[in-house]
Amino acid sequence: MQLDLLLWLIPVPPVAAFFIIWLFTNRSRGLSHAVAIVSILISWALSLIVFFNVIGLKDFGKTVIGSSVPWLPTGESVFRMGVLADPLTAVMLFFVPLCCTMIFVYSVGYQNYGKPRDPHDKVGEPPHNGVEPMYSRFFAFLSLFAFGMLTLVVADNLLLMFVGWEIMGLCSYLLIGFWYARNYDDPKKITPRGAAVKAFITTRVGDVVMLLGIAYLYFMTTTEEARHILGKAAGTLSFRDILYNAKFLEYLAEQPSVIVGLSVAALIGIFLFIGTVGKSAQFPLHVWLPDAMEGPTPVSAMIHAAAMVSAGVYAVIRMYPLMSAGWHEGGPLTPPMLAMGAIGAFTALFASTIAVTQRDVKKVLAYSTISQLGFMVAALGIGAYVAAAFHLMTHAFFKALLFLGSGSVIHGVEHGAHHSNEHLDPQDMFNMGGLRKKMPITFWTFLIGGFALAGFPFITAGFWSKDEILADAFANNQIVFYVLVISATLTAFYTMRQIALTFFGEPRTHSAEHASENVWTMTYPLIFLAIFALFSGFVGVPKELAELGFNNFGKFVSATLVEKLNTPEFTIVPMIFSIVAALGGLTLGWLVYGMKPLKAGQKDPLTVLGPIYTLLENKYYFDELYEFIFGRPARWIASVLVYQIMDRTIIDGALTLIARFAYFVGHVFKVTEKYTINDPPDWGLAAPIQWMGRTFRVIQTGRVQNYLLVAMLVVLAFGGVYYLRFIGLLR
Amino acid sequence: MIPLSWYLTLAAALFCIGLYGVLARRNAVAILMGVELMLNAVIINLVAFWRYNQPTVIGGQVFAIIVFAVAAAEAAVGLALIISIYRRRSSVVAEDMNLMKW
Amino acid sequence: MPTFDPANIFMWAYKFLGWWLTSLGLAPEFVLFVQLFAAIGMLATVVLLIPIFTIWLERKIAGRFQDRLGPNRTGPYGLLQSFADVLKLLTKEDITPHKADKWIFNLSPLFGVLSIITVWAVIPWASTMVGADINVGVLYLLGISGLGTIAIMMGGWSSNNKFALLGAFRAVAQLVAYEVPMIITLLIPVMLSGSMSLQSIVKAQGQMWFIVLAPFAGVLFFITSIAEIGRAPFDLLEAESEIATGYNIEYTGMKFGVWMLQEFSHAFAVGPLFATFFLGGWQGPYATEIPVLGIVYFMLKSFFGYFMIIWVRSTLPRIRIDHLMSLNWKFFVPVSLLALIVTALVDKAMSEFAPGTGVAGRAIVLFTANVLLVISVIIGIRNAAHAVRVKEEGDDHAEHGDAADSHDDHSAHPAPAH
Amino acid sequence: MSITLPQIIFLVVAIGTLFTGVMVVVARNLVHAALWLILSFFGVAVVFAMLEAGFIAVVQVTLYIGAIAILIIFAMMLTRKVMNDTEPQTNSQWVLSLVVAAAAFIGLAGLLNATAWSPLQAVSLEGSVAQLGRALVEPNQYVLPFEVASVLLIIALIGAVAIASEKN
């Protein structure tokens, strides 16, 4: 069995599942989720087959697996669509289907499968205690989403990748707005549909720019020199042709672009990076991700932790050779890398500061996601390619775990609320507390996830990846390093805060008291992911500490790049820093929230910070800012400029003018006809025409044979004439 | 050996006979028969030309086959028309079918 | 002088005649003419004599099937029954009805017989004996069967009798309609052997009869050809109880006898055709070495086919005319097309993906394909019938079917309001 | 010039065909006309056979006699008794039609015999049927006209049924 064929097949089952559910099985819930889960399992199996085949391969990375078919003839060259597996793809194939599978299974329990339909539930609102009314639709969307993600992973060219990217955007829209009929009491709280629109539009901003970059790159591959370099492959977007072709990359790096001072590679890189900024919610386009938490929690876990946002980072990692074209170890950073470093580091810090003050258990995780993605982007910015990929993987594991855990908590609290008919926000951490005993499995797994996120030394995966990033930052760029250390500390702090508020102390509400552990479909995925959150880090420990684990990851992934990047020599300093940061943050959080747990109704101790607290709690007023900068003017333009001036005055006026003119012409015709044809009975045109008709109509015998006879006579006549000319009797 | 012109003359004669039938018969079915004769003449021409000019190229026979198909379609539709006219007006005389006159 | 060989005695006789006449110093064209004439005469004689036997055979077998004795008075086992009938017919008055179209009325029986005898021109009797091995034999057969139809029509029309005309109508409708699936099923042997010449079709069955490779097509061909010869259960064109023997009602005496001859020889002709297309014609042990043996095998298979026809005839009752038509257009035509497509695809796929597969492998695959096809067809019929029943009797009966099935029918056919 | 055997055969066949054709257009009784038509079709089939186009010949028999002639006779019987043999079978313009047909024939015959045609080439047409079959389905040969013809037949079939169906 050829691997490239398997690669082709990987994305197929989910989309098949989507159509099957949509068209056939949507009546039966069990059938629907069976189809979805089986399909994703098939994809997972295929991915694992591919993965374990490729890690055995000799110098894999120099030689990649893949195949492509001619898709669109473009003039003298053909645009080829295809699939590609290099080490990076292999890593993605290892964890993406895994997380997806876990989340699929988890969703079965989360959507209350098996319980009867609650009569109070309305379609389009979250179910109270019964099964989700749109159960099958949910799984259909999830499957479609998995299809988009897997397509993006196995794609071998930017266009196909972009296709998957957009499919995911659509699914994210559909799933965030899954409970489209939901409304809240206070108008300031954003509704799911609003959040969906917000997410869609915000990410569009990035995607458009990204498409611009793709188009620009494509154009650059069709120039004369490009043809000269690429040969037959000219006019392509394939990674194999572009990223594995050092000559072409350096040609791009040298070529000056339309913007003065930027090389083509730099400009394209920046464009693509802006796409990533939109997709993985980097500053300033981060605003959609926290609101995206309005969707069901499995969606938050899948889209906004494991898959979609990491797709953004995956894109930049994938395009890293282009971004870093012309950069060499120790040399000055290229503009895209500078941008990545700056924005990534800033986002990491800024998001973690916001996360410190959030009350909503999911919002905290959302902001931590943003900041972790910032970590990765910053790492890429300073050339820590391997570290970024590594953190991408581990983060996917523990963040998916955390989200599912939080979902489990929320579900439990909702259950409690249903039990003690109490009306409260089941996501607010200040309504929880003391769930440690109520839901032990959730607690322990959440604890593992949290420690991994905080980077608890040596035993969690997050530690190794984050430490690697810090090490590279320390070696390459001190500023980034310190920023990241601070945000790491904050990360540990708010993680502890979250754990303490949620699980320790006494229940602060009846709901929390009556909360209970969830069904196995929800807990088993937690356990499974917890294992990975713990041990997936040991594939990438620094080789100086090799006795603690393995060091294959770096070698494996860095084989993707054309020119070797030398990992910085190991120094103990950054590791000490990261250990201190993690432990310090955790202990600080424990001191503030853990020692004396909050009673019911007690305020957050951090309010002592005063205005800063409110500033952070309102997320630096970014939504309001955007509303003021973009929202109002847009509405003003729409209402005044477009509607009143354009439509009413110009277009309608022109139309009226044309109508008037046509009316006038018609009138002229009418008058002329009246005085030449109709009115004068004797000399008008009507009479003679009538007479002619009466005279000549006789030839219309209506008998087909007459007509044919006449036709034959004419034919004969012409034939005779031609014959006479032929024999020369006629000139 | 037979010269090509004999075949063509035969075809022409058959064609003209059919033409006469089409022009002169009153019964629509008879007219249809005349049309069939003409088509046969045409096919004779095709095959004869194929045999005499380019017997190695099969195109001529293919052309003949296509004409066969057309003839079959023509006969089916024509007879269906005649029958439905007969249903409506209980007549198959071509001269009576002159609704389209003045 | 050609050397005498008993294994191929007929061909020897043919050659010997030619040699003899040539030795008399006659022109070669004339010699050839005489040779062919003699051969044709012999063939036609045999073909025309066979019914004398088959009529007796049929009456005997039908009698046995219906728990009667059958003819047993004239001669041993009533063997001379046919001769008696012929004598009786010869002594009858030969009437041509008034206002009948004399020429056509008298010509049509001959046309009918002609259309049957000409069929035998292309049927191979043995590896060396075939009247005319033309490379479009199958098409030729179809054209000839068209002649038969015309003959029946001439007879029915010209005798100026409404029952006769009705019979003719039915005949045309039925024969033309059933020609369609017959042609389609005949395409399958043509496809499997890759030729339209009957001799090469037979040769292609040297190792495996086509009835094994395409059993479904064989059965379809058998049924449709029963309809083609207008035997029970498809004997609509001469349904005594409805139109009083139909198109040949006005015929008397030997003209009627000729019609009978046409019918019986036509009925028998199905046997050889079935044998040629599906039972491997003259193929058999040592058939190629000893051609005479081939004749024996061929006749055995032909009579087996004929026996099957008699069996069907004496077992099944006649079906209604509308059932006849809908059976053809709604079942036989689509199903035969299906069989054609399936056979084509499977055979092509095998030659594509598994070249060098032995005859046995090919046979197994094609046979299984046919079996699956039959099973699916039967399931389809079952569901359709079930749907019809649901429509007619309301869904309360539908529940007898298994749950899923009836559920589907529910959604497909909403039960009438009651 | 001496007349050879094939020429004799051709002349016989041609005369027979033409005679039957004439009978088709002049026979008073329509059914007789149809039967004459069948004979004339046979003659044409023989002509095809003489042109070594065996397949065309057999198709001529199968299609024209087996299908079209039967169809015509059938239609005739369905629409019979509307005109009996006594009333005139030709319309008022038959004389002119005769003139036209004769003139057309004379002109054509004159042209045909005035032209110098290429003589018969002696080539062996072995397996021309197989060649024809392949040509009809080969993509780079005549598969497209073939398919178009099949579509045309389908349309004609449906159209005929729609036109001739009782209820509308």
Residue C405 has pLDDT above 60, yes or no: no
Q: Is C154's Cβ below 8 Å from some Cβ in D?
A: yes
Q: Which domain holds residue A642?
A: 629-694
pLDDT tens-digit map of A503-541? 887 777 777 777 777 788 888 888 888 888 888 878 777
Domain boundary among A617, A643, A676: A617
Interchain contact, A704 vs B102, CB within 8 Å: no
**A716 and A590 part of one domain:** no
Question: Which of these, A355, A518, A509, lies nearest to A432 by C-alpha position?
Answer: A509
Neighboring chain B residues of D71 at a CB cutoff of 8 Å: 75-76, 79
- The answer to whether C81 touches C56, Cβ cutoff 8 Å, is yes
Secondary structure letter of residue D65 according to DSSP: I
Q: Is B98's Cβ below 8 Å from some Cβ in D?
A: no
Neighboring chain B residues of A705 at a CB cutoff of 8 Å: 22-24, 31, 94-95
Interchain contact, D155 vs B73, CB within 8 Å: yes
Neighboring chain A residues of D96 at a CB cutoff of 8 Å: 709
Minimum-distance CB partner of D104 among A705, A706, A716: A716
- For residue D62, the distance in angstroms to the closest alpha carbon of chain A comes to 30
Neighboring chain D residues of A708 at a CB cutoff of 8 Å: none
A500 belongs to a structural domain:
yes
Contact residues, B window 17-76, toward D, CB-based 8 Å cutoff: 17-21, 23-27, 29-30, 32-34, 36-37, 40, 43-44, 47-48, 50-53, 55-56, 58-59, 61-62, 64-66, 68-76
Interchain contact, A709 vs D96, CB within 8 Å: yes
pLDDT tens-digit map of C162-209? 788 888 888 888 888 888 899 899 999 988 888 888 888 888 888 888
Neighboring chain D residues of C143 at a CB cutoff of 8 Å: 58, 61-62, 65-66
Minimum-distance CB partner of D129 among C135, C143, C168: C135
First-last CA distance in chain D: 65
Kindly report the number of other CB atoms within 10 A of residue A191's CB atom: 18
Please give the Cα distance from A312 to A389 (Å, whole number). 12
- The answer to whether A192 touches A294, Cβ cutoff 8 Å, is yes
**Angle of helix C162-193 relative to helix C137-158, nearest 10 degrees?**
180
Angle, vertex CA A63, rays to CA A58 and CA A65, nearest 5: 105
D110 → chain B, closest CA residue: B9
Please give the Cα distance from A327 to A333 (Å, whole number). 6
Q: What is the pLDDT of residue C85?
A: 82
**A715 and A639 part of one domain:** no
Residue D12 has pLDDT above 60, yes or no: yes
Interchain contact, C146 vs D66, CB within 8 Å: yes
- A334, amino acid identity: T
Rg (CA), chain C: 25
- For residue A681, the distance in angstroms to the closest alpha carbon of chain B comes to 25
Please give the Cα distance from A303 to D137 (Å, whole number). 52
pTM of the model: 0.56
Q: What is the pLDDT of residue C411?
A: 44
Q: What is the pLDDT of residue A187?
A: 77
User: Quick check: do B and C touch, 3+ CB pairs under 8 A?
Assistant: no
Please give the Cα distance from B100 to C16 (Å, whole number). 72
Kindly report the number of other CB atoms within 10 A of residue C243's CB atom: 23
Q: What is the pLDDT of residue A659?
A: 92
Per-residue exposure over A301-321, b if at least 16 CB sit within 10 Å of its own CB, e if not: bbbbbbbbbbbbbbbbbbbbb
Interchain contact, A705 vs D93, CB within 8 Å: yes
User: Quick check: do C and A touch, 3+ CB pairs under 8 A?
Assistant: no
Best C139, C172, C176 residue to mutate vs chain D (most D CBs within 10 Å): C139
- For residue C418, the distance in angstroms to the closest alpha carbon of chain D comes to 30
Best D19, D23, D24, D128 residue to mutate vs chain B (most B CBs within 10 Å): D24
Please state the length of chain D.
168
How many domains, in total, are found in chain A? Answer: 3
pLDDT tens-digit map of C121-171? 888 888 877 878 888 888 888 888 888 888 888 888 888 777 888 888 888
Please give the Cα distance from B56 to A496 (Å, whole number). 91
**A553 and A408 part of one domain:** yes
- For residue D34, the distance in angstroms to the closest alpha carbon of chain A comes to 21
Please give the Cα distance from A223 to A221 (Å, whole number). 6
Interchain contact, A704 vs B94, CB within 8 Å: yes
- For residue D96, the distance in angstroms to the closest alpha carbon of chain A comes to 8
CB contacts < 8 A, C to D, total: 65
**Mind listing the domains of chain B with CATH numbers?**
4-92 (1.10.287.3510)
What mean pLDDT is predicted for residues C391-402? 59
**A606 and A659 part of one domain:** no
B93 → chain A, closest CA residue: A703
- For residue B58, the distance in angstroms to the closest alpha carbon of chain A comes to 31
Question: Which of these, A624, A620, A589, A618, lies nearest to A606 by C-alpha position?
Answer: A589
Mark the ranges of chain A whose per-residue pLDDT is less than 50: 1
Token pair of A58 as six digits: 């000799």
Q: What is the ipTM of this complex?
A: 0.77
Neighboring chain C residues of D66 at a CB cutoff of 8 Å: 142-143, 145-147, 149, 179
D126 → chain B, closest CA residue: B56
pLDDT tens-digit map of D16-74? 999 999 999 888 888 888 889 999 999 999 999 888 888 888 888 888 888 888 888 88
- The answer to whether B28 touches B94, Cβ cutoff 8 Å, is yes
Please give the Cα distance from A677 to A664 (Å, whole number). 20
pLDDT tens-digit map of D128-157? 788 888 888 888 888 888 899 999 999 998
Domain boundary among A617, A641, A664: A617
Question: Which of these, C113, C49, C111, lies nearest to C82 by C-alpha position?
Answer: C49
**A635 and A529 part of one domain:** no
Neighboring chain A residues of B100 at a CB cutoff of 8 Å: 700, 702
Give, in words, the CATH class of D1-83: mainly alpha
- The answer to whether D146 touches D136, Cβ cutoff 8 Å, is yes
- The answer to whether C358 touches C382, Cβ cutoff 8 Å, is no
